[in-house]
Amino acid sequence: MLHSKPREDNYLQKGLRKQLVQSLREKGIKDERVLAAMEAIPRHFFLDPAFERQAYEDRAFPITAKQTISMPYTVASQTHLLALKKYDKVLEIGTGSGYQACVIAEMGVSLFTIERQKELYDYVEKFFFLKKYANIRRFFGDGFEGLPSFAPFDKILITCGAPFIPPKLLAQLKPGGIMVIPVGEDEKQKMLRITKDMEGNITEEEMGDFSFVPMLQGKNNKNSGPL
């Protein structure tokens, strides 16, 4: 469970984190700003203590409400594809554990993040580590709707498998902006990088195969029970 009190981040965990970052480099992640942010964030804080020892393996893990924290390689790839710049306003769909949100916030940009599972939204509320980042604003809502009152966004990141490119999100992307979105069903998605030019023309590039939990329509107020 995510903790309301600080947990320990000792030399062992810091060492494992360095090794994880090195392994991501070897898997082709070259963006040192992303790697530095990932080295700064104790991923084990975001996991149930039962998985704490494996927190620095390149694996996804269950969090609450039958959701998962993405694999470090996936987090690094998506963050890199966003090509973040200082003063960017970024929208993330799928707060989940809040890990990816912290990686992005650690890079100094302003982050808005939406989660559709009330249980998960409330759960992250109590998590001390997120309070470190005044540049994260969290919302309970349906990511298909985006956040019209805060749009447009320089960058939009979808961290769940989308059945199609949500038109409202595309409309909330600034000219010159980038959207990173895994599209496809049954936990098999193609990562797309979508660029909108100054005239509003859209370009799509395929950036490899990934696996995500599905992007679902509507909010869910129900408690889905333990892991």
Question: Would you please indicate which residues are annotated as catalytic (active-site) residues?
Answer: 70
Residue 120 vs 194, nearer CB to ligand SAH? 120
Which residue from 187, 179, 173 is spatially nearest to 207, judged by alpha carbons? 179
181 binds ligand SAH (CB under 6 A): no
Single out the residue of 116, 138, 155, 196 in contact with ligand SAH (rule: CB under 6 A).
116
Looking only at residues 133 through 152 of this chain, which bind ligand SAH when binding is defined by CB under 6 A?
Answer: 142-144
Which residue from 135, 37, 46, 147 is spatially nearest to 97, judged by alpha carbons? 46
Looking only at residues 31 through 50 of this chain, which bind ligand SAH when binding is defined by CB under 6 A?
Answer: none
99 binds ligand SAH (CB under 6 A): yes
Q: How many residues does the chain have?
A: 227
Give, for 17, the enclosing helix (H) or strand (E): helix 11-26
β-strands 61-62, 68-69 pairing = antiparallel
CB 55 within 8 A of CB 47: yes
Least Å distance, CB 195 to ligand SAH, is 22
| Residues engaged in binding ligand SAH (CB under 6 A) | 67-70, 93-94, 96-97, 99-100, 114-117, 120, 142-144, 159-160, 213, 215-216
